[in-house]
Amino acid sequence: MSRPTAYVSTPIYYVNGKPHIGHCYTTLVCDVWARFMRRAGRDVFFLTGTDEHGAKVEKAATEHRMTPQAWADQNAAEFRRVLGMLDLTNDDFIRTTEPRHTRQVQTFVRRLLEKDAVYVGEFEGWYDQGQEEYYTETKAKDCNHVSPISGRPLVRMTERNYYFRLSAFQKPLEDLFASHPDFVRPEARRNEVLGRLREGLQDVPMSRTNFAWGIPMPDDAEHVIYVWIDALFNYITALGLGEPDGAVAGARAKYWPAQYHVIGKEILWFHAVIWPAMLLALDLPLPECVYAHSYWVMGGQKMSKSLGNIIDLEEIEHYLSIYGLDAWRYYMTTQGPLGVTDSTLSPERFHEVYTTDLVNTVGNCASRVTAMINKYFGGTLPADAAGDLHDHDWPAITRDAVATATEAMAAFDLAGAMDAAVGIVRRVDGFIHATEPFKLAKDPAQMETVGAILYRSLEAVRIASVLLEPTMPGRMASLGASLGIEPSPDATLDTLTAWGGLTPGATIEKTMLFPRIDAPETAGA
């Protein structure tokens, strides 16, 4: 039986800059989702890559005395480095300069021309020759038709351009938003798009003539395809949807449409309006959801080169060297800006979350339970022989938490899913606190009850670890190893979270998942 598919994508990142926390974040949350869905039994396709065309790349390359391709190669390699650094499990990495992409983009644009969704039009406006840019009528008037930069008069120019007939999709897009309220999430973002949509759609230029670094328009090499149009197509060229029938298309076509295009909020318009209009024009199915997250900010401001407040790979590596990769992944997943508010990262906050959730909760509970099994049962897992214990119906508690986490993941609420998992551990702490196995163990007649308490506690921790695994694959694998289990990659969530997975008699080692770490020195201390 074929498994249901699940396709998740990140934006493809511009190679005119270096990767930083923002890029890493989007790819990481997609990775957590992809890992969870694989466990849930879905046939997952997780895509990321780099956006390599456009005037900015051409310019940056020239400034660095490199060819645009060499510049793109060099920076794409940096984006690839992130994948290994953060243990990301993408299924493909698409680069827009690859022939598989460029030839399919031309095929799609040719189809759009044939369908009359793209036409050649004339554009007339005031042009600043020094800046190579058009001014709006208002801006031209404001500066008396003289360039404020060069002091030279603006010239009236006419340009022949290709346009995408976006205006024709006003009604279909309104219908889409009405019939699929979840097409854009979170809801506040959807409302932004709806607001702009109500202002009315205009056709958009989709080619450029003033530089060369791009995919040529089919049969008109003077024009290159506008970088955004080129880039959006990556989501389907990676699947081979534009290849001639029978080629690569066959194997990956099943993944379309995507469940989630995960993006940052600044590129919502392209994904929520232009992209679906292009797909509608091509008679292709639409993605299920464009999920636009907010930003990582520093000191209340968006990170930028000029402010020098960018959290780059070097700084991320610094965190990794102190706290380990899984702690980083956990912080990103639970504290990140998936909702409508921006998030901040500070050494103090990171330390606090690490200590509270990972050291004091997950790590402490696992080490306490495994230590008691070693102390009272010589490291051999006791049987669950007692009846009801302190009103804790563990099979039901864990089943509910798994259901909550699964629902949250399906809705891309990653923090909610992790909270359901850590919630199990908190319940175990409460259970131990209430049943006091360490006191009961003083009485040899109570050892059966002690054994049952510890079996149930460890089994619940094990189930929590299955839910935590997509976020913290490394530490959860080592927890599994100390319990003598190594789930096969194909084992599904249902099987792994079924109560009773641990076998009495198994050898249990004491665990130490998250070492306590000294608080960072506060600034100025």
* Shortest Å, Cβ 22 to ligand MSP: 2
Query: Taking CB under 6 A as the rule, does residue 412 contact ligand MSP?
Result: no
Residue 286 CB, shortest distance to ligand MSP, in Å, is 15
Q: In what order do the strands lie in the sheet with 343-344?
A: 301-302, 296-298, 343-344
Q: Which stretch binds ligand MSP (CB under 6 A): 69-77, 226-234, 442-450, 457-465?
A: 226-234
- 287 touches ligand MSP by CB under 6 A: no
Burial (CB count within 10 angstroms: exposed 0-12, middle 13-18, buried 19+), residue 203: middle
- Shorter beta-carbon distance to ligand MSP: residue 61 or 453: 61
For residue 234, the minimal CB distance to ligand MSP (Å) is: 6
Shortest distance in whole angstroms from residue 280 CB to ligand MSP: 17
Q: CB of 501 within 8 A of CB of 459?
A: yes
Residue in 263, 397, 405, 458 binding ligand MSP, rule: CB under 6 A = 263
Q: What are phi and psi of 378, to 5 degrees?
A: 60, 25
Find, among 419, 425, 348, 372, the residue nearest to 394 by Cα.
425
The residue assigned the tokens 């511009």 is 14
Residue-wise DSSP of 377-436: HTTBPPP------TT--HHHHHHHHHHHHHHHHHTT-HHHHHHHHHHHHHHHHHHHHHH-
Residue 189 is a binding residue for ligand MSP (CB under 6 A): no
289 binds ligand MSP (CB under 6 A): no
Figure out which of the listed residues 71, 296, 323, 514 binds ligand MSP, where binding follows CB under 6 A.
Answer: 296
Torsion angle defined by CA atoms of residues 320, 325, 328 and 330, in that order, rounded to the nearest 10 degrees: -160
C-beta separation of 395 from 29 below 8 A: no
Pick one of 6, 8, 26, 76: the residue that binds ligand MSP (CB under 6 A). Answer: 26
Cβ at position 345, least distance to ligand MSP in Å: 10
- CA atoms of 464 and 486, how far apart (whole Å): 15
**295 touches ligand MSP (CB under 6 A):** yes
Q: Which is nearer to ligand MSP, 15 or 476 (CB)?
A: 15
Q: Which residue in the set 218, 264, 324, 382 belongs to the binding site for ligand MSP (CB under 6 A)?
A: 264
For position 23 contacting ligand MSP by CB under 6 A, the verdict is yes
- 303 contributes a contact to ligand MSP by CB under 6 A: yes
Q: Out of 197, 232, 460, 466, point to the residue binding ligand MSP (CB under 6 A).
A: 232
Q: Cβ of 151: how many Cβ atoms within 10 Å?
A: 8
- Cβ atoms of residues 26 and 90 within 8 Å: no
Q: Please identify, among the stretches 20-28, 67-75, 105-113, 195-203, the one whose residues bind ligand MSP according to the rule CB under 6 A.
A: 20-28
Residue 54 near ligand MSP by CB under 6 A:
no
Q: Decide: is 11 part of the binding site for ligand MSP (CB under 6 A).
A: yes
Can residue 229 be called a binding residue for ligand MSP (CB under 6 A)? no
Q: What is d(CA 433, CA 368) in angstroms, rounded to the nearest whole number?
A: 12
- Applying CB under 6 A, among 7, 25, 256, 350 the residue interacting with ligand MSP is 25
Torsional sign, CA 202, 203, 206, 210: negative
Tell me how far CA of residue 236 lies from CA of 97, 282, 466, in angstroms. 15, 12, 32
Among the listed residues 14, 213, 256, 323, the single contact to ligand MSP using CB under 6 A = 14
User: Contact 79/13 with Cβ under 8 angstroms?
Assistant: yes
Residue 298: CB minimum distance to ligand MSP, A: 9
Q: Give dist(CA 57, CA 17) in Å, integer.
A: 9
Stretch of 11-19, 133-141, 375-383, 463-471 lying at the interface with ligand MSP (CB under 6 A):
11-19
Please, which of residues 32-51 interact with ligand MSP by CB under 6 A?
51
Binding status of residue 68 toward ligand MSP by CB under 6 A: no
Q: Which stretch binds ligand MSP (CB under 6 A): 170-178, 230-238, 462-470, 482-490?
A: 230-238
Q: Does 22 contact ligand MSP by CB under 6 A?
A: yes
Tell me: does residue 354 bind ligand MSP (CB under 6 A): no
| 465 versus 471: smaller Cβ distance to ligand MSP | 471
Q: CB nearer to ligand MSP: give 270 or 514.
A: 270
Q: Are 120 and 160 in contact (CB under 8 A)?
A: yes
Q: What DSSP assignment string belongs to 59-78?
A: HHHHHTTS-HHHHHHHHHHH
Closest separation in Å from C-beta 413 to ligand MSP: 17
Q: What part of residues 439-468 is at the interface with ligand MSP (CB under 6 A)?
A: none
Q: Give the separation between CA 482 and CA 320, rounded to whole angstroms.
A: 23
What is the nearest approach in angstroms of ligand MSP to the Cβ of residue 88? Answer: 14
Segment near ligand MSP (CB under 6 A), from 165-173, 236-244, 263-271, 386-394?
Answer: 263-271
267 belongs to the binding site for ligand MSP (CB under 6 A): yes
Give, in degrees to the nearest 5, the angle at Cα 71 between 69 and 72.
65
Q: How far apart are CA 72 and CA 78, in angstroms?
A: 10
Inter-CA distances, 132 with 77, 148, 162, 498, 513, Å:
31, 13, 18, 64, 58
Does 127 sit near ligand MSP (CB under 6 A)? no
**Cα 367-373-376 angle, rounded to 5 deg:** 130
Per-residue burial over 494-522, b if 16 or more Cβ lie within 10 Å, else e, is eebbebebbeeeeebebbebbeeeeeeee
Residues lying near ligand MSP in the complex (CB under 6 A): 11-14, 22-23, 25-26, 51, 231-232, 234, 263-264, 267, 295-296, 302-303
